[in-house]
Amino acid sequence: MDRLIIEGGMPLCGELRVQGAKNAVLPILAAAAAAGGECVIHNCPRLRDVEKTVMILEQLGCDVKREGGTIVVNSKELTDCRIDEGLMREMRSSIIFLGAILTACSRAEVGMPGGCPIGLRPIDLHIASLKKMGVSICEEHGYIKCSCARLRGCPIHLDFPSVGATENIMLAAVKADGVTTITNAAREPEICDLALFLNAMGARVKGAGSSVITIEGVESLHGAEHTIMPDRIVAQTYLISAMITGGRIRVCGAEAVHMRAGLSALSEMGAVITEDSGGIELKSRGSVKSVHIIRTMPYPGFPTDIQSPFMALAAVADGTSVFVENIFENRYRHVDELVRMGADIKVEGRSAVVRGVKGLLGANVEAYELRGGAALVVAALAAEGRSTVSGTEYIDRGYEDIEGCLARCGASIRRVCG
């Protein structure tokens, strides 16, 4: 397995361009399976999850080509409606193929999804919503088997504003009979990006970005061209990296409007942040203040995906910070590894109390999931001495060439293979 070798203590200074958003490109690639034609999707990051999604598309019979950051998907010859259990286990977001395949084929058979071990991510909202739309569903031998004569639009209320369930309903509703209205829908920017792509394919989706989304079913879809939005989680990770190392960085292409909760926390912790139409610049004042309390919440609240890197920053802050994880119950797997580096963190249930220390020490640590792995990289950048971060297969699920990006801004970081 690969490892990242990091010599800490080097201030990050420079400029980099943020990659396309992992959480946007995956549902958009799934949507391309339902187009019935050629879709050209730009700004696609090179990630393990994107590679697995391409493999799923190819298994379904789509012709897929990548040229640089552009992926071309032709679903005209879609021949299959089944996704093997092995591919589905690679990532939780693979469940969104249910809605897309049902739209394309009126039936689907997919293995139970997998992903990072950060806690329960039940798919009951997906299943219940599809049943309301007329889908017959049975689960047997690790597979979800779905069929319907014709999808029908209907009102759907989500008990929780699940991003995945909102996306699946949208994908299933675009060619359904009548109108589908989702109330308490997820409001994340990635939902808006999916709606833009679906509408470019001929769908009629309104209200994305609000808690009520309306989808009027159409007779047919067609190919389209789209550029993936910037990754707000990756952008914030690099801003935090500059902050923890006492540096200065500009993240080009980042959309500040997507990151208000995180940018507010960084300002509270002492960062000087400048925004313009081209991106975001952060300058450290040389010290880090504690943040009173961070509670993860659905968008536009503080995102669970950036909680772990912020905890690494709080570990060296002056004072005590409190984190409350309201989304996933097992999102503190990085804590023991940070403690190995000298952090003072106490966890009780969904709360973590972080007492800032004067400095972290390099150590051999292991990533157990994507965002926790990013937190360990952030901590290692500031630690005294050498750190080795293993478990890079998790980090590579969401960060494109993380070592190259950080090295271009002055970090001493390299990847060792094998």
Candidates 44, 116, 146, 148; catalytic one: 116
Q: Which two tokens stand for residue 3?
A: 């490892």
Q: Which two tokens stand for residue 229?
A: 């939005």
Task: State the Cα–Cα distance between residues 95 and 132, nearest whole angstrom.
Answer: 17
Residue 138 designated active-site: no
Task: State the Cα–Cα distance between residues 334 and 307, nearest whole angstrom.
Answer: 11
Q: How far is residue 150 CA from its own chain's centroid?
A: 32
The side-by-side arrangement of strands in the sheet containing 143-147 is: 82-83, 107-111, 143-147, 136-140
Task: State the Cα–Cα distance between residues 283 and 272, nearest whole angstrom.
Answer: 5
Q: For residue 40, with 0-12 CB atoms within 10 Å meaning exposed, 13-18 middle and 19 or more buried, which class applies?
A: middle
Which H or E run includes 78?
none
The residue written with tokens 């190259």 in the block is 404
Q: Give 68's contacts (C-beta < 8 A, 6+ positions apart).
A: none
Task: State the Cα–Cα distance between residues 19 and 25, nearest whole angstrom.
Answer: 11
The helix/strand/coil state of 332 is coil
**E-assigned strand segments in 112-233:** 136-140, 143-147, 155-157, 179-183, 204-206, 212-216, 225-227
Give the chain's radius of gyration (CA, Å).
21
Active site residues: 116
